[in-house]
Amino acid sequence: MTPDPYEILGVSKDASQDDIRKAYRKLAHQYHPDKQGGNEAKFKELNAAYQILGNPDKRQQYDRFGAAGFGQGAPGGGGGFGTVSWEDFFRQGGFQGGFGNVGDLGDIFGDLFGFGGSRHGRQQTAGNSYELTLTIDFPEAVFGTSKTIELDAQHACARCDGTGREPGSGLKQCSTCRGAGQVMETRATLLGQFQTALVCPTCQGEGEVPAKRCTTCKGQGRERKLKRLEVAIPAGIADGQTLRLQGQGDAGPRGGRPGDVHILVRVRPDPELRRDGDDIVTRTTVSPADAALGIKVDVRTVDGVVAVKVPAGTQPGRRLRLKGKGVPSLRGRGRGDHLVEVVVKVPEKLSRKQKKLYEDLQDEE
């Protein structure tokens, strides 16, 4: 059974063109094969469905005749929408040939994946980004700290300053694209001939290449070496939050934009202190007599040991508040509180004297 493009995009048959466009954008983001968790087969299917529904004329033709209105049952032949190769239709938004009006597909893919727009000029390749995990102690998360990490990454070549050419040498015309910065590729598909403009793989769209490559980086404009990074951990950071060090990843080839370093912060649990938002919660255990008569107990906080008064008549589970002894707020001023939960421990075994005292107390109630 041939797939229904409306079902593929998850829209109703009376959906507006704007709704169809939005649905496609959302799903294309989700299933793009270059993204983590992407699905190339699903992505091809989405493209083929949008090629029909995104074009008012082709949509009207489908609504009247169904898949039969497209000659071979569906784009790409009897295999359904999923057989269409997205690479045949989308590469830099460069559409030419017999597919008719494809509307804003080039703009969509330019917005989503960064290769739309003009087919001229350099399209620099960005450097790789890194994801690292950094584990800190509970007090460091509360008050903030600074950590030094080492990263084996690509740096701009010191010899050629990232240009890729030997110092003192110039540039020459790229022999692959003959200075155009792009090459044309023609593909034959079941839907006709498609000619696509691609960024020249040799000169990366510049139209020129080094007359003599740098002897250190071999023309790449970068070299790998170890670097040390100082990471400022803000006060109040929580377990699982991520810090971004912009531009600290790999340098891009030939002066391209550097990547980033993303640091996932993990906080070691404290045996006594537990975080609840910007508050810190601990427990203190007292006897029934102490809960009834009142007592002072020493409580460990992130600021040190504090003497806390447990009022007479305190009930089990009551929380005593130490204002301003909690975690600094990341999004505002001040600190949370330290909450001391009172646990009343009933003795499991009683001496005869203790039992008599409890019985006397029970008789008086």
User: Tens digit of pLDDT for each residue in 123-150?
Assistant: 567 889 999 999 999 999 999 999 999 9
For residues 138 and 78, state if they share a domain. Answer: no
Name which residue leads in pLDDT, 157 or 98.
Answer: 157
Per-residue DSSP letters for 312-359?
Answer: TTPPTT-EEEETT-SPBPTTSSSB--EEEEEEEPPPSS--HHHHHHHH
How many angstroms from the chain centroid is the CA of residue 334? 30
* Residue 205 falls in which region: left (phi positive, over 0), alpha (psi -120 to 50) or beta: left
For residues 355 and 319, state if they share a domain. Answer: yes
Residues 124 and 252: their CA atoms lie apart, in Å, by 8
Q: Using alpha carbons, select from 82, 20, 1, 95 the residue that is nearest to residue 47.
A: 82
Does residue 206 fall inside a structural domain? no
Residues 252 and 259: their CA atoms lie apart, in Å, by 7
User: Tens digit of pLDDT for each residue in 294-344?
Assistant: 999 999 999 999 999 999 999 999 999 999 999 999 887 899 999 999 999
Does residue 112 fall inside a structural domain? no
Among 237, 268, 299, the domain-final residue is 268
What's the pLDDT band for 256 if we cut at 50, 70, 90? confident
- Weakest-pLDDT range from 79-88, 191-200, 295-304: 79-88
CATH number of the domain at 312, please: 2.60.260.20
For residues 54 and 124, state if they share a domain. Answer: no
Name which residue leads in pLDDT, 33 or 99.
Answer: 33
Per-residue pLDDT, averaged over 40-46, amounts to 83
Does residue 43 fall inside a structural domain? yes
User: Tens digit of pLDDT for each residue in 203-252?
Assistant: 877 788 889 999 998 888 888 989 999 999 999 999 999 999 999 999 88
For residues 245 and 326, state if they share a domain. Answer: no
Residues 235 and 238: their CA atoms lie apart, in Å, by 9
Per-residue pLDDT, averaged over 251-261, amounts to 85
> Which sign does the torsion angle of CA 198, 202, 204, 206 carry?
negative
Per-residue DSSP letters for 42-90?
Answer: HHHHHHHHHHHHTSHHHHHHHHHHGGGGGSSSSTTSTT-GGGS-GGGT-
Domain residues for the domain of 327 are 274-364
Among 84, 108, 140, the domain-final residue is 84
pTM above 0.75, yes or no: no
* pLDDT at residue number 72: 41
Does residue 109 fall inside a structural domain? no
Does residue 300 fall inside a structural domain? yes
Token pair in block for residue 38: 């992407």
Does residue 74 fall inside a structural domain? yes
CATH number of the domain at 51, please: 1.10.287.110
Residues 107 and 298: their CA atoms lie apart, in Å, by 65
* pLDDT at residue number 22: 87
Does residue 250 fall inside a structural domain? yes
Count of domains for the chain? 3
Among 38, 60, 84, the domain-final residue is 84
* pLDDT at residue number 134: 96
Helix 17-31 and helix 40-53: axis angle, to 10°?
170
Coil, helix or strand for 110? Answer: helix
For residues 254 and 125, state if they share a domain. Answer: yes
For residues 21 and 147, state if they share a domain. Answer: no
Does residue 202 fall inside a structural domain? no
For residues 260 and 291, state if they share a domain. Answer: no
For residues 259 and 281, state if they share a domain. Answer: no
For residues 252 and 125, state if they share a domain. Answer: yes
pLDDT of 67 over the 80 cut: no
For residues 278 and 262, state if they share a domain. Answer: no
Q: What is the helix (H) or strand (E) element at residue 26, kind and residue range? A: helix 17-31
For residues 146 and 251, state if they share a domain. Answer: yes
> Percentage of residues in the chain with pLDDT exceeding 90?
40
For residues 242 and 320, state if they share a domain. Answer: no
User: Tens digit of pLDDT for each residue in 148-178?
Assistant: 999 999 999 989 988 888 998 888 998 998 8
- Weakest-pLDDT range from 108-117, 248-257, 288-297: 108-117
